[in-house]
Structure 1
Amino acid sequence: MQTGPREITTPFRPIPLDVPDGMAPNEFFNSTENLNDLENNNGLLRNPENLLLYRKALGHSNLFDTSIIYNTSKCILNPLGRPVRRTQVPDDVKHVWNRMNQILISYMLELFPDPEDALVLAGEASLDATWPLTSPGVPSIRMLHNHFIAFDIQQLREAKLADRHNPNLTDGGQHSLFQKHMRDVYRDFFDSLDLNILKLAGENSSRIHLTGYPQGLPSWEIQGGIERLKDICFWREYDEILKGFIDFYRTFFTQVSTRNAPMPKDVWFPDQIEKKLLYNNAFLATAKKVRDRCITDAKYANAIRWQPAFKQLIYRNDEGKLIVTISQNSIGNAITELLGVVVKRTPDAAAYEKAEPALIKKLLEARRRLIQADLGEGIATPYWEAE
């Protein structure tokens, strides 16, 4: 069977929301009013830490698809002031967030124990708080949220190959700025992090054979598998990777913005930045290339994400091992495309309703396990009871 990214079609039930006159859809979707609809019509569980588990109304997969959002819409009304990455989340919230992640990922692996049957992934994409609200492709909910998704492998096998030049498939060596021009320095910087549970994985073991993705990204095997997700030391290392990425990203775009700029303030790894980046000719030469193009190419400069924008996820490889990877984000692409899965969502209520009962059954069982672990209380909607 030919290896390559796949494009699948996922039906959804159209959302009965009217966008007020004079507002762009992405502006409305960022509002407290829209978040109220998300909670009241699709909410599964909430807790005092403002973490909300909900059904994805515009889902990636109707096999299993849910999200947890750090719903700060009522306590932080300024969308640009909301937490958009794990490093901005209070420790008590992050503690609950990690436990919810562990339970949901464990349940997904229990539901789909064979990697030959399902592609399982969980992760987050940063929602860059410096991105103008009116930019095309801006994230619709400007708050940190995680995705928990399973795809039917047979559906992926039968799906058509996606266009390899799709700009949303940005996570391979041929597209990503870091991977194309600074692959060695990027990996060397990550190699300098002090990790014990996470072991650097080779490209062959981290890649999903069917799609050929992820491509060219640093990836780590979770030694000990799902049991290690119960260990706070794992989540600390998971955060170390994110912090390393943010340091690399900020340092690079600081150099793009200002030639020979000093090290950014409040970095986590100043020694590694000084030794691995600020004295690396390939790193600084690439910053010059981007800076020179920004000066002469207005469209290119306007697309630059000056603040850290990333995707970080945990997924199961073909051998059944759990892998962590992280990538640059780009305008418009979805977290599934990191693994070579392009989702085309189509409004089709009848097709969605055929899959809905089995999907809801799984989501309610996931909710039950979270409630049992004292991680929240159930929400009643028109589609399900609170318990």
Structure 2
Amino acid sequence: MQSGPREIITPYRPIPLNVPEGLKPNEFFNSAENLNDLVQNNGLLTNPENLLLYRKALGHSLEFDASIIYNTSACILNPLGRPVRRTQLPEHVKNVWNRMNQIMIEYMLEQYPDPEQSLVIAGEASLDATWPLTSPGVPSIRMLHNHFIVFSKEELCNAQLADPSNPNLTDGGQNSLFESHIPDVYREFFDKALDLRILQTTDAETAKIALTGYPQGLPSWEIRGGAAALKDICFWQEYDQVLKGFLDFYRTFFGQVSTRNAPMPEHVYFPEQVEKVLLFNNDFLKTAKKVRDCCLKDDKYANAIRWQPAFKQLIYRNDEGKLIVTISQNSIGNAITELLGVVVKRVPDAEAYAQFEPQLMEKLFAVRQRLIEADIGAPIRNQYWREE
């Protein structure tokens, strides 16, 4: 079996969506009206915390594919002011968010217990709220959301190899910038800043999916205790620590890229480690200078940089059945699946989608019922499912 990124073809049923004249699609996608449409066409469950579970219309997988979004479209009208990561959530919302994630992941692992047969992924996408709405590559819905996806490894094995130079796989060469150029200081910062007991640093080979050879150049941690650990609030606090450490590193690095000898960013989570590990490290500052010089010489390179933190953070199951956490710089907008070497080519084909829809919806209704029983939300009835 040849190892390498795979490209799979996933059919979807087109849903008519009328974009008002004069608006670009990605401007409309961030509107309250589009989120209403999302609820009516694909919504499964909602709650008073404004967390919405929905079926992915333009999906990644026909095996299992759903998302949770923090739907603030009607209460925060400024798309650039909406929460785009967990660290921006109110505590009472974060508590429910974590419980929803735990139940969703637990269900996927129960339904797909064999790591040799199924690739199980749960990933958070941070959508950078500093890009202009009309900028190419801006994600379609600018709010915090998680993806829950299962791929058949047999399907991946039979899929054609993807082009390894695909920008979404390489992230324009910036995906592994920290790991490629300053791996020692990158890991030293995580080691000194984070106080972890459930998460344990793991090596690249343990984290890698053999079939695809990914992830590549990303720091990874094993979840000690497996799925049971996800029921412990301490795990989610450590999961947040990984994110906070990443945000400090990212903001400090690109602050130095933007402005030579810039002061420590405001409101960092680990100021002592930022000062001692990063701002007095010659390799760290030398690498920032290289990127700054590239920006001054290459307008296209500079335009591709996400100056404010943008990332993908994943929980996935490796080939040995262990749960792994990883986090990636997200400079261009690569999909969560592409961090694990899976490129999804979506094609409109209502007839092909209909063949898989009943089995897909059966699983989504089942996990929705678990959320209802946990007092996490109420079911949504719409034109596609009324009596379930």
Is residue 280 from structure 1 mapped to residue 281 from structure 2 by the alignment?
A: yes
Asked if structure 2 preserves the Cα contact closer than 8 Å seen for 1:172 and 1:215, the reply is no
Distance (whole Å) between structure 2 residues aligned to residue 252 and residue 17 of structure 1: 41
Task: Write out aligned runs for 1:247-286 (5 A).
Answer: 247-286=248-287
Find the counterpart in structure 1 of residue 317 from structure 2: 316
Give 3-state SS (helix, strand or coil) of 2:361's partner: helix
Output the CA distance in 2 between the equivalents of 1:332 and 1:18: 25
> Superposed, which structure 2 residues align to 1:99-110 within 5 Å?
99-110=99-110
Q: Deviations over 1:105-158 (max 9, x none)?
A: 000001100011110010111100001101111110000000000001100000
- CA–CA separation in structure 2 for the residues paired with 1:385 and 1:234: 37
Structure 1 distance, partners of 2:221, 2:303, is 33
Q: Retained in 2: the 8 A contact 1:126–1:310?
A: yes
Q: Which moved more, 1:341-350 or 1:19-28?
A: 19-28
Structure 2 match to 1:89: 89
TM-score normalized by structure 1?
0.98
Quote the Cα distance in structure 1 between the aligned partners of 2:325 and 2:38.
Answer: 29
Q: Does the 8 A contact of 2:168 with 2:333 survive in 1?
A: yes
- Give the Cα separation in 1 of the matches to 2:197 and 2:301: 40
How far residue 202 of structure 1 moved from its aligned partner, in angstroms, is 1.1
Taking the aligned partners of 2:277 and 2:387, their CA distance within structure 1 comes to 52
| 2:372 is aligned with 1:368 | no
Asked if structure 2 preserves the Cα contact closer than 8 Å seen for 1:172 and 1:214, the reply is no
Partner of 2:162: 162
Deviates more, 1:256-265 or 1:139-148: 256-265
Q: Residue deviations 1:172-226, cap 9 Å, x none?
A: 9885221221122111111121100000011111100000100121100000010
Q: For 2:61 and 2:311, how far apart are their aligned partners in 1?
A: 22
C-alpha change, 1:16 and 1:172, in structure 2 (3 Å) is closer
- Whether the 8 Å contact between 1:53 and 1:68 is mirrored in structure 2 is yes
1:152 aligned partner, one-letter code:
S
**Aligned match of 1:194:** 195
* In structure 2, distance between residues paired with 1:35 and 1:331: 24
Secondary structure of the residue aligned to 1:170 is helix
Aligned pairs for 1:341-356 (under 5 A) are 341-356=342-357
How far apart in 2 are the matches of 1:264 and 1:285?
18
Q: For residue 332 of structure 2, what is the aligned residue in structure 1?
A: 331
Task: Report the 3-state secondary structure (helix = DSSP H, G, I; strand = E; otherwise coil) of the residue aligned with 1:168.
Answer: helix
The Cα of 1:385 is off from its aligned counterpart by: 2.2
Q: Quick check: 163-172 or 235-244, which moved more? A: 163-172
- Equivalent residue of 1:53, what SS? strand
Aligned counterpart, 2:301 = 300
Residues 1:221 and 1:182: Cα distance change in structure 2 (over 3 Å): same
Q: SS of the counterpart of 1:366?
A: helix
Contact 1:222/1:228 (8 A) holds in 2: yes
Q: Within 2, Cα distance between the matches of 1:221 and 1:295?
A: 39
Distance 1:205 1:177 in 2: 21
Is the CA contact (8 Å cut-off) linking 1:71 and 1:143 kept in structure 2?
A: yes
The answer to whether structure 1 residue 239 and structure 2 residue 240 are counterparts is yes
Partners in 2 of 1:332 and 1:248 — Cα distance? 19
Equivalent residue letter for 1:94: K
Structure 2 SS opposite 1:276: helix
Partner of 1:9: 9
Q: CA deviation at 1:386?
A: 6.1
Which residue in 2 is equivalent to 1:212? 213
Residue 222 of structure 2 corresponds to 221
Letter in 1 for 2:68: I
Structure 1 residues 139 and 386: alpha-carbon distance in aligned structure 2, compared to 1, 3 A threshold: farther
| Inter-partner Cα distance in structure 1 for 2:40 and 2:258 | 44
- Aligned residue identity for 1:363: L
Q: 1:170, CA displacement in angstroms?
A: 2.7
Judge conservation of contact 1:52–1:68 (CA < 8 Å) in 2.
yes
2:117 maps to amino acid: D
Counterpart contact for 1:76–1:82, Cα < 8 Å:
yes
Runs of 4 or more, structure 1, over 2 Å off, are 170-176
Amino acid of the residue matched to residue 287 of structure 1?
A: A
Q: Which AA in structure 2 matches 1:20?
A: P
**CA 1:174 to 1:262, structure 2 compared with 1: closer, same or farther past 3 Å?**
closer
Report if aligned partners of 2:176, 2:218 keep a CA contact under 8 Å in 1: no
CA 1:131 to 1:82, structure 2 compared with 1: closer, same or farther past 3 Å? Answer: same
The residue number in structure 2 matching 1:123 is 123
Alignment deviations for residues 227-255 of structure 1 (CA, whole Å, 9 cap, x no partner): 11010100000000000000000000111
In the alignment, the residues of structure 1 paired with residue 279 and residue 348 of structure 2 have an alpha-carbon distance, to the nearest angstrom, of: 50
Whole-angstrom distance in 2 between the partners of 1:303 and 1:89: 27
1:148 aligns with 148
Alpha-carbon RMSD across the aligned residues, in angstroms, is 1.3
Measured in 1, the distance between the counterparts of 2:273 and 2:85 equals 22
CA distance in 2, matches of 1:18, 1:175: 35
1:174 and 1:17 map into 2 onto residues whose CA distance is 34
Is the 8 Å Cα contact of residues 42 and 54 (structure 2) preserved in structure 1?
A: yes
Distance 1:338 1:189 in 2: 22
1:78 corresponds in structure 2 to 78
1:129 touches 1:142 (CA, 8 Å); kept in 2? yes
After superposition, the Cα gap between the structure-2 partners of 1:13 and 1:102, relative to the gap in structure 1 and judged at 3 Å, is same
Unaligned runs of 5+ in 1: none
Distance 1:386 1:86 in 2: 33
Q: Is the 8 A contact 1:83 1:143 kept in 2?
A: yes
